[in-house]
């Protein structure tokens, strides 16, 4: 990683599990399948893995990562179970890069699996419960202390969708952003999904169709919201030196940063700005590249507003002008800045925490292995994961050259 | 939307799972039971905060309690039109709002006494405490004087 430490770090293997729907597979099986595919991709063996990085499944996540390491039969000499929700995999990528650069481990596995759709058979519209509501469901007596979310948000019926809606509404108020502009983001992701045979939805989607879809929490319509899928992913990282001797084209980690602003949506300091604004300049400086150098973006898209805020906070779109900025097809495959070239969470897959899919798709793009969704001669990709309720952001810049 | 909008305390308080006061929040809940919105203020920097905690979240100083006016404005809101859990499933459409209090802090609430489709950012609102047995919840309603 440039800037921080003197040793090159690269992604040496990637693997996806089966998605968007895999009835009968457990979360652990998704993780195991993705892991085995990532090993095959890299040419490394299981015995080479000495660093384990996982955020577990989803809430409740206590000790899920330890359980997963045991299931996979990995006894790592470096273990990290950082959980920041969907952004966890970008944070874990940063941690793995630092650990490899510092010599704490040689081969790091970042791994995730979830059977969210098949287990719960739920849609976000039906049971899009905020973390608050998980706490809300806890028994009201006994030793477990009730969290602040349960006391100050759950009684009001806060949900995941309504939490993001609070941010979207404020952005519209301050900047005049329109529902049609947000819809352009969903339309672009759907356009990109046509190139991904595994995407949950591949039929063309129009702005009019987004606006005609049911309003779930003003101003967010059904198609402003991500899908709920099954799926898993694995990323194997090692030193640049070692990666160059392996099977596939190394993809280098040039810089990675993370930051957080709040946990509960009622505590968001500014509903129009995420923690991406805190790290954007730093990450470009550390990678020694500019925004104009970036060829493709992989941006967490739990909701259309999630994308809009990150594009502004990362500095690609001027603050407040993201709505107009996304409305000319830039985000589509073949556009000026192809974004979520696998169809994203809005159309392809979102098994609860989507951050690892961003890293995997960026790696495919930089290996020039993305098929019909390939960004011509892509050299640099930016990945931005969002976790919690716009709470945590993890940003990484990946490159084809060290 | 084919359903009558919730404009009053039909947003029933008592069939929600309710907050459990703890050593940070007991004074806050006791205040609401008397119809008073109590906030904390830093003895060092003077900044008021919500939710209650054992230090100033701005500067780390110590905090004291005071009675807030209970007045504020809608900072942002959404009309919840679908929900996965009771009682909210039966209450849609209802307004989930972030109210910015006159003293500065913001808090989440439901708005009563106004059709959800009439809610706007910057709408002046005031506290409307609603008893739910052992707990009194702070709802907000459009200000009579506005
Ligand atoms: Zn203070």
B13-45 per-position pLDDT tens digit: 778 878 989 999 999 999 999 999 999 999 999
Mean predicted lDDT score pLDDT of chain B: 92
**pLDDT in the model for residue A142:** 41
Q: What's the pLDDT tens digit per position in A16-47?
A: 999 999 998 999 999 999 999 999 999 999 99
C-alpha A213/C-alpha A305 separation (Å) is 16
pLDDT-wise least confident of A222-231, A281-290, B4-13, B50-59? B4-13
pLDDT, residue A151, reads 87
The values of phi and psi at residue A331, to 5°, are -80, -10
User: Tens of pLDDT along A341-397?
Assistant: 999 999 999 999 999 999 999 999 999 999 999 999 999 999 999 999 999 999 999
Percent of chain B with pLDDT over 70: 91
User: Considering chain A, what percentage of its residues have pLDDT values greater than 70?
Assistant: 91
Long-range contacts of B59-68 (CB under 8 A, 24+ apart): B64/B40, B65/B27, B65/B31, B65/B38, B65/B39, B65/B40, B65/B41, B66/B38, B66/B39, B66/B40, B66/B41, B67/B31, B67/B36, B67/B37, B67/B38, B68/B37, B68/B38, B68/B39, B68/B101, B68/B102, B68/B103
- A233-286 pLDDT, tens digit each: 999 999 999 999 999 999 999 999 999 999 999 999 999 999 999 999 999 999
Full-model pTM = 0.94
CA A75 to chain centre: 26
Tell me which DSSP letter residue A195 carries.
Answer: T
Tell me if A244 sits within 8 A of A85, measured CB to CB.
no
With contacts defined as CB-CB under 8 Å, which chain B residues touch A217? 78-82, 96
| Chain B residues touching residue A137 (CB < 8 angstroms) | 17
Decide: A373 and A192 in contact? Cβ < 8 Å: yes
Is A393 within 8 Å of A260 (Cβ atoms)? yes
Mean per-residue pLDDT over chain A, rounded: 92
| pLDDT confidence bin for A130, thresholds 50/70/90 | very low
Q: Are the beta carbons of B110 and A162 separated by less than 8 Å? A: no
A81 pLDDT above the threshold of 80: yes
Which of A339, A14, A354 has the alpha carbon at shortest distance from A186? A339
Residue where the block lists tokens 């996806």: A16
Query: Per mean pLDDT, which of A59-63, A96-100, A119-123 is the most reliable?
Result: A96-100
- Whole-angstrom distance, CA of residue A235 vs CA of residue A93: 9
Tell me what the mean pLDDT of segment B105-115 comes to.
96
C-alpha A24/C-alpha A32 separation (Å) is: 14
- Among A137, A148, A159, select the one facing B83 at the smallest CB separation: A159
Contact B111, B119 (CB under 8 A): yes
Q: Which candidate from B16, B78, B84 shows the least CB-CB separation from A155?
A: B16
Return the residue of A nearest to B121 by Cα: A173
Cα distance between residue B61 and residue A321, in whole Å = 39
The two structure tokens encoding residue A362: 């960026």
Question: B20 contacts in A (CB within 8 Å)?
Answer: 140, 146, 150-151
Alpha helices of chain B — where are they, by DSSP H? 26-33, 88-91
Residue that wins the pLDDT comparison between A75 and B9: A75
A172/A215 Cα distance (integer angstroms):
16
> Which tens digits make up the pLDDT trace of A316-335?
999 999 999 999 999 999 99
From CA A284, how far away is CA A397, in angstroms rounded? Answer: 8
Share of chain A above pLDDT 90, in %: 86
Q: What is the mean pLDDT of residues B114-121?
A: 96
**Distance (Å, whole) CA A135 – CA A147:** 7
Is it the case that residue A105 has pLDDT exceeding 80?
yes
pLDDT band with cut points at 50, 70 and 90 for residue A129:
very low
Ligand 1 centroid vs A264 CA: distance in angstroms? 20
Does pLDDT of B109 surpass 80?
yes
B143 touches chain A (CB under 8 A): no
Q: Is B113 exposed, middle or buried (0-12, 13-18, 19+ CB in 10 A)?
A: middle
Q: How many other C-beta atoms lie within 10 A of the C-beta of residue A96?
A: 30
| Band of pLDDT at residue A145, cut at 50, 70 and 90 | low
Q: Do A126 and B96 touch (CB under 8 A)?
A: no
What pLDDT, on a 0 to 100 scale, did the predictor assign at position B66? 98
Give pLDDT, residue B3.
Answer: 58
Cα–Cα distance, A101 to A8 (Å, whole number): 7
User: Does B94 contact A159 at a Cβ distance shorter than 8 Å?
Assistant: no
**Whether A163 contacts A262, CB under 8 Å:** no
pLDDT of residue B105: 98
**Chain B nearest-CA residue for A133:** B85
Edge to edge, the sheet with strand B38-42 lists B48-49, B38-42, B63-67
Span A63-68, average pLDDT: 88
Alpha-carbon distance of A110 to A253, in angstroms, equals 14
> What pLDDT shows up at residue A137?
42
User: What ipTM did this prediction achieve?
Assistant: 0.95
CA distances from B47 to A261, A317, B71, B101, B126 (A): 19, 34, 17, 13, 21
- Residue B80 near residue A159, CB atoms below 8 Å: yes
H or E stretch at A112: strand A107-114
The angle formed by the CA atoms of residues A194, A315 and A265, to the nearest 5 degrees, is 80
pLDDT band at A163 (very low <50, low <70, confident <90, very high): very high
What three-state secondary structure class fits A15?
A: strand
8 A C-beta contact, residue A357 and residue A86: no
Number of H helices, E strands in chain B: 2, 8
């Amino acid at each position: 990683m440039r800037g921080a430490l003197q040793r090159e770090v690269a992604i040496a293997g990637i693997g996806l599990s089966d998605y968007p729907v895999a009835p009968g597979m457990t979360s652990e099986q998704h993780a195991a399948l993705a892991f085995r595919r990532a090993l095959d991709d890299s040419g490394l063996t299981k015995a080479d893995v000495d660093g384990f990085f996982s955020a577990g499944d989803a809430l409740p996540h206590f000790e899920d990562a330890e359980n997963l390491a045991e299931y996979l039969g990995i006894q790592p000499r470096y273990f990290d179970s950082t959980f920041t929700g969907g952004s966890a995999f970008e944070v874990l990528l940063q941690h793995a890069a630092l650990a490899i650069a510092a010599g704490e481990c040689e081969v790091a596995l970042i791994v995730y699996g979830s059977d969210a759709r098949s287990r719960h058979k739920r849609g976000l519209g039906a049971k899009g419960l905020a973390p608050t509501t998980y706490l809300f469901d806890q028994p009201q007596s006994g030793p477990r202390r009730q969290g602040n979310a349960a006391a100050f948000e759950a009684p009001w019926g806060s949900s995941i969708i309504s939490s993001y809606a609070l941010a979207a509404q404020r952005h519209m108020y301050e900047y005049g952003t329109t529902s049609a502009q947000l819809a352009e983001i969903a339309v672009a992701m759907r356009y990109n999904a046509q190139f991904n045979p595994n995407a949950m939805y591949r039929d063309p989607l129009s702005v009019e169709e987004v606006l005609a879809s049911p309003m779930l929490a003003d101003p967010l319509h059904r198609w402003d919201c991500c899908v709920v899928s099954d799926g898993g992913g694995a990323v194997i990282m090692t030193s640049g030196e070692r990666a160059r001797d392996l099977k596939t084209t190394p993809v280098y980690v040039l810089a990675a940063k993370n930051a957080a602003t709040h946990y509960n949506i009622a505590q968001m300091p500014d509903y129009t700005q995420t923690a991406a604004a805190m790290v954007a300049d730093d990450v470009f400086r550390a990678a020694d590249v500019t925004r104009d150098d970036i060829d493709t973006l992989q941006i967490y898209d739990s909701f259309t507003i999630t994308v809009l805020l990150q594009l502004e906070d990362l500095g690609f779109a001027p603050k407040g002008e993201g709505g107009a900025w996304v409305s000319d097809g830039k985000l589509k495959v073949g556009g000026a800045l192809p974004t979520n070239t696998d169809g994203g969470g809005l159309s392809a897959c979102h098994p609860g925490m989507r951050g690892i899919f961003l890293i995997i798709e960026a790696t495919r793009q930089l290996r020039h292995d993305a098929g019909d969704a390939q960004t011509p001669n892509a050299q640099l990709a930016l990945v931005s994961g969002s976790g919690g309720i716009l709470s945590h952001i993890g940003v990484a810049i990946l490159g084809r050259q060290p | 939307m084919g359903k009558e909008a919730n404009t009053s305390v039909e947003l029933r308080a008592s069939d929600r799972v309710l907050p459990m006061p703890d050593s940070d929040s007991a004074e806050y809940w006791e205040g609401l039971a008397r119809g008073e919105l109590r906030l904390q203020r830093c003895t060092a920097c003077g900044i008021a905060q919500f939710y209650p905690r054992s230090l100033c979240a701005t500067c780390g100083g110590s905090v004291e309690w005071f009675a807030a006016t209970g007045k504020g404005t809608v900072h942002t809101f959404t009309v919840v039109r679908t929900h996965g859990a009771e009682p909210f499933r039966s209450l849609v459409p209802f307004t989930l709002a972030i109210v910015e209090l006159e003293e500065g802090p913001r808090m989440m609430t439901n708005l009563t006494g106004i059709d959800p489709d009439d809610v706007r950012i910057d709408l002046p609102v005031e506290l409307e405490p609603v008893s739910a047995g052992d707990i009194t919840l702070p709802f907000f309603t459009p200000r009579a004087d506005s």
